[in-house]
């Protein structure tokens, strides 16, 4: 059994066939999902989906791309919901910064400020963090350590597979492995995967984004975690069932959810 620990089921691209998407996953033994926060305007839809299905949970948080919409009290209104199990996705993303130097620095500062506020929120409500890091490994690492995020721990999206992020293992962090691991140009992640302690591995899609090979370019969905699990098992040279069991235990330990 696989849990997709990161899929944006509240995204508009699932509007017309969400039930079929979820059923396709369930039929393939992908039995649970976590919907991370991103744009707060999509949070009510995440709550609605989580209330409808036992094994679907959500997180409250604001993605760095949506930082203008950050509203702490709005997140606090939803964090005590029984299906809310994490804070995020929050973090730093330097991939799309403004070109002009002063604007670039202002954007980074604004991202850092709401990242720190969300780490504080997670600590106050004792929820693990879902952390998005893109081309910002060093700054993210520093902030997570400075803010003592180890009190709650969390999961990192492994976009860049930067080796320095392995340090966060010692701070209670897990590593979400997604479709990127199946890409032909994913050499760095393939190299780093065996260095991650197996009791820190999670599986995710980031659907509707980052669709695994051979479906790149199509919409991603939780069913495709099966391709991620298969590829991880190959790289780690363990059988897929063993891998799935390890990852399931990790998922339950981090999110304390009833999957």
Interacting residues toward Ni ion by CB under 5 A: 206
Q: Which is nearer to Ni ion, 94 or 233 (CB)?
A: 94
CB of 93 to Ni ion, least distance (A): 11
Contact between 195 and 1 under an 8 Å Cβ cutoff? The reply is no
CA–CA dist 71, 213 (Å, integer): 37
Closest by alpha carbon to 196, among 170, 159, 226?
170
Per the DSSP assignment, residues forming a β-bridge with 33 are 4, 56
Positive or negative: CA dihedral 200, 206, 210, 213: positive
CB of 11 to Ni ion, least distance (A): 9
CB of 241 to Ni ion, least distance (A): 27
Q: Which is nearer to Ni ion, 107 or 206 (CB)?
A: 206
Contact between 200 and 154 under an 8 Å Cβ cutoff? The reply is no
In the bound state, the residue with its beta carbon closest to Ni ion is: 206
What tokens appear for 258 in the block?
């009833």
CB of 38 to Ni ion, least distance (A): 6
Q: Coil, strand, or helix at residue 119?
A: helix
Q: Which is nearer to Ni ion, 66 or 120 (CB)?
A: 66
- HSE (side-chain half, CA atoms, 13 Å) at 113: 11
CB of 206 to Ni ion, least distance (A): 5
Phi, psi of 58 (to 5 degrees): -135, 165
Strand 56-60 vs strand 173-177: parallel, antiparallel, or unpaired? Answer: unpaired
Q: Which is nearer to Ni ion, 206 or 244 (CB)?
A: 206
CA–CA dist 49, 51 (Å, integer): 5
CB of 216 to Ni ion, least distance (A): 17
Q: Which is nearer to Ni ion, 61 or 146 (CB)?
A: 61
Tokens 């720190």 map to which residue?
Answer: 116
Q: Which is nearer to Ni ion, 93 or 206 (CB)?
A: 206
């Amino acid at each position: 059994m696989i849990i997709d620990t990161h899929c944006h089921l509240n995204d508009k691209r699932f509007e017309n066939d969400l039930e079929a998407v979820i059923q396709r996953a369930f039929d393939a033994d992908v039995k649970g999902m976590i919907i991370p926060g991103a744009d707060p305007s999509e949070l009510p839809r995440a709550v609605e989906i989580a209330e409808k299905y036992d094994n679907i949970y959500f997180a409250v948080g604001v993605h760095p791309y949506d930082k203008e919409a950050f509203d702490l009290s709005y997140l606090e209104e939803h964090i005590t919901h029984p299906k809310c199990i994490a804070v995020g996705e929050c973090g730093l993303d330097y991939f799309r910064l403004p070109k002009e130097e002063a604007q670039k620095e202002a954007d980074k500062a604004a991202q850092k400020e709401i990242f720190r506020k969300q780490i504080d929120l997670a600590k106050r409500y004792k929820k693990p963090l879902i952390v998005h890091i893109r081309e910002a490994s060093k700054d993210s690492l520093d902030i997570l350590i400075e803010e003592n995020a180890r009190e709650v721990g969390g999961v990192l999206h492994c976009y860049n597979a930067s080796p320095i992020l392995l340090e966060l293992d010692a701070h209670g962090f897990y590593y979400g492995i997604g479709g990127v691991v199946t890409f032909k140009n994913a050499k760095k992640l393939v190299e780093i995967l065996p260095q991650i302690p197996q009791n820190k591995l999670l599986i995710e899609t980031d659907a509707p984004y980052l669709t695994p090979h051979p479906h790149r370019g199509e919409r991603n969905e939780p069913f495709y975690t099966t391709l991620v699990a298969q590829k991880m098992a190959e790289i780690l040279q363990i059988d897929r069932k063993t891998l799935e069991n390890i990852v399931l235990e990790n998922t339950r330990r981090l999110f304390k959810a009833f999957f």
